Chains A and B, each alone.
Chain A
Amino acid sequence: MIEILVPILTMAVLGFMFSVGLVLAYKKLKVEENPKIAAVNESLPQANCGACGFSGCRAFAEAVVSGKAEVSGCPVGGADTANQVASILGVDAVEVIKKVARLHCRGTLDAAQSRGIYQGIPTCHAAHLVGGNKQCSFGCMGYGDCVRACQFDALYMGENGLPVVREENCTACGKCVDACPRNLFELHPLDQEILVFCRSEDRGPLARKLCKNACIACGICARACPEAIEMENYLAKITDFKKIDPEKIPEIEKCPTDAIGRIHKNDEG
């Protein structure tokens, strides 16, 4: 019996001595921290995804409290979180427009010409190394690196071979933007309807040959709305969405290949 009691007592006494020492030291060395940091931290989603640009939710909370980050800097939490954080800090809530990821390619299995059968490792990064499975070297290859990167179940692979964004789940964390070897994803405000759905910098005739939905750089959209759309590298580019006059949308949508237009046009018609 004594053989068991002695070590137990020894360890207990040692542990007690050290803990008393630590408690005393803690009282001496306690660091006063702004209580707002903890409050802000609690109102954050705790996804620790890094989409705000800081290393985790706590770092973001510290940055907000010290004024280095915007109240609305957490894209995952969106407007609710921004309002909570704003009320903790006692500043006016700001209007936050939710951002979502958008795919800039409409090269579906029907539209884009196939280059052959790819039998390598089924990831976009691997396929990209050998030029991809489609003749267009700018478009989506459809092996779903983005779908696997998404933590929020906001992406799935559609039947037409292109990933589809579930807007309600998308938090604009930007993982898919990084995952795509061809940089086909971009984060846009949810209310930005008009987008360019092509990244091909091939010249018009070639681009059209490779994909039915490619931007052929005809310039119809840029002529319809020169203040917001311009042509660059044989590709239409929206320079400032806010300047697009809603009345000009039908003009813009005269695009012969559907490479620019409203994102939900197909659903309505």
Chain B
Amino acid sequence: MELAAIFISAVLVQNFVLYYFLGICPFLGVSKRIDSAVSMGLAVTFVMTITAVVSWLINNLILIPYGLDYLQIVSFILVIASLVQLVEMFIRKISPPLYQALGIYLPLITTNCAIMGLALIAALNEYSFVETVIFGFGSGLGFTLAIVLMAGIREQLDLADVPKPLKGAGIALIVAGIMALAFNGFLGMIQ
């Protein structure tokens, strides 16, 4: 029951993009087309899940036993940077068109604060190993959900009659704000 609560909370209630406002850069940058948004979401989900696992291992097996908690941020950065490199190599090998479509946003996952936030929040909440994995995976799914919804709306927006001053980034930010309000409606679900 506890695990289900963590999962639902990570996906819907405390959604990284729409509740914490972390990871806005790829959220706006790669949400122009649904297919690239899906693959961005999956890449972030992958990185988030693995980051959660590896950072939990480092945190609980190395840092906390030796009283090195203050190295959390530095070592998590190391984990994230290496993992993103790995994902980048992997995607480049498997699907060059996807590599092109994600472009600069793929290496930018390194500096995606959502992933850093995930590692730090998991450490702060002192989740167990299984809880951390569920939390990481759920957060990734939550990010995917948000970015895919956003891409769907923005594909429709291209056809809509948007007032000229609001075209492009302006209307995208307004939509993101309204989506965040809507997601705040989930707040009552988890007590």
Contacts and interface: CB of A to CB of B under 8 A. Distances in A.
A165 to B, nearest CB: 33
A21 B71 CA distance: 21
A31 B71 contact: no
Interface string B54-85: 00001000110010101100110011001001
A18 B84 CA distance: 12
A14 B86 CA distance: 16
Interface residues of B, number: 19
A15 B76 CA distance: 11
Given A6-B68, A7-B68, A22-B82, A14 B89 contact: no
Given A18-B79, A21-B82, A10 B89 contact: no
B86 A22 contact: yes
Contacts of B70: 7
B53 to A, nearest CB: 14
Contacts of A25: 86, 89-90
A55 to B, nearest CB: 9
A2 B100 CA distance: 47
Interface string A9-31: 01100110011011001100111
Interface SS of B by simple majority: helix
A11 B73 CA distance: 11
Nearest to B88: A29
Most chain B beta-carbon contacts within 10 A, residue among A6, A11, A29, A30: A29
Interface in B85-140: 85-86, 89-90, 92-93, 96
A7 B90 CA distance: 31
Given A7-B71, A22-B85, A25-B86, A15 B93 contact: no
Nearest to A13: B62
A10 B86 contact: no
Interface of A: 6-7, 10-11, 14-15, 18-19, 21-22, 25-26, 29-31
Given A11-B74, A11-B75, A31-B89, 11 more contacts: A7-B71, A10-B62, A10-B68, A10-B75, A11-B71, A14-B78, A15-B78, A21-B82, A29-B89, A29-B92, A31-B93
Interface of B: 58, 62-63, 66, 68, 70-71, 74-75, 78-79, 82, 85-86, 89-90, 92-93, 96
28 contacts: A6-B66, A6-B68, A7-B68, A7-B71, A10-B62, A10-B63, A10-B66, A10-B68, A10-B71, A11-B74, A11-B78, A14-B62, A14-B75, A14-B78, A18-B78, A18-B79, A18-B82, A19-B82, A21-B82, A22-B82, A29-B89, A29-B90, A29-B92, A30-B93, A31-B89, A31-B92, A31-B93, A31-B96
